[in-house]
Amino acid sequence: MDKSRRMILGAMGGLALSGAFAGAKLAAARESAPVDVAKQERFAQMGGDFSWKYQKLDPAESGMVAYDGYWHKGYGCGYGVYYGIVGMLAEKFGAPYNSFPFSIFEMFKGGMSDWGTICGALAGASAAIFTFFPRKQANPMVSELFRWYEKTAFPIFDPKDAAKGYKGPLPTSISNSVLCHISVSRWAYTTKLGANSKERSERCGRITADVCMKAIEILNAKFDAGTEWKGAYSKQESVVQCTTCHSKGQMSDTLKGNMGCDSCHSGSDAVKDKFHDHPNL
């Protein structure tokens, strides 16, 4: 082979290598760049509003997953319940359920960023219900879950040897409220166990499972009955009584909501003004 031919072949080889290298760099750049398939239209949702469809789950299986989710990276009860429902659908069916950023629900921990408001487990369950159903269908399901929570002695679930915070049975209490602060405080007061104890952490982990399982029972019943589904719990006696005067169209339009009134307005020593008139102040 003469010198000129060797030079031509060498140049062609170099061009091929540099072309391949450039192509690889371009492909890598495309993979790392944001995918601009279609820009989001205002208030639009891929597939349409409430396009994700619920599929029936096993409450016991999901309850254990929710319990583990409570402890996962310390994300807490709201994360555990939501993952126990939508995360399990992602594990079983893949898309679209696997596209959700589940860790967002760490915000529900401690009654919403440790503010002690709505119980995070209930918030996570409500978010899961509203993932699939619009308000007119979802509200009765949420009400059923919340009323059950107000009147149930927790915890029920016991992970036995799989317990992560405290092994063994735990004492129970009825919160008569959906608020994290009241639920935890009443349990701590009743059981004489600290609100910051390992037993209380375990209690909330178990309640995460309890709420997840109850929410799935409601979702499964809704799946079977469709628009014919109706809850078993009626309105609380306190709400029925108070709304005869304090609601829309009545003599005093000062009440909006379905939470049991007696948890804050029972007239007991526990709800009197202790901040300005506490014996130790």
Separation CA 215–CA 146 (nearest Å) = 10
> Residue 137 corresponds to which tokens in the numbers above?
């269908």
- Pairwise pLDDT comparison (26 vs 107), residue with the higher score: 107
Q: What is the pLDDT of residue 248?
A: 83
| pLDDT > 50? residue 1 | yes
Angle between helices 120-132 and 198-225 (to 10 degrees): 20
Q: What is the pLDDT of residue 4?
A: 56
Separation CA 95–CA 193 (nearest Å) = 43
Question: Average pLDDT for residues 101-115, to the nearest whole number?
Answer: 97
For the chain, strand residue ranges (E) read 153-154, 173-174
> Residue 153 corresponds to which tokens in the numbers above?
């002695």
Which amino acid type is present at position 172? T
In the chain, % of residues over pLDDT 70:
83
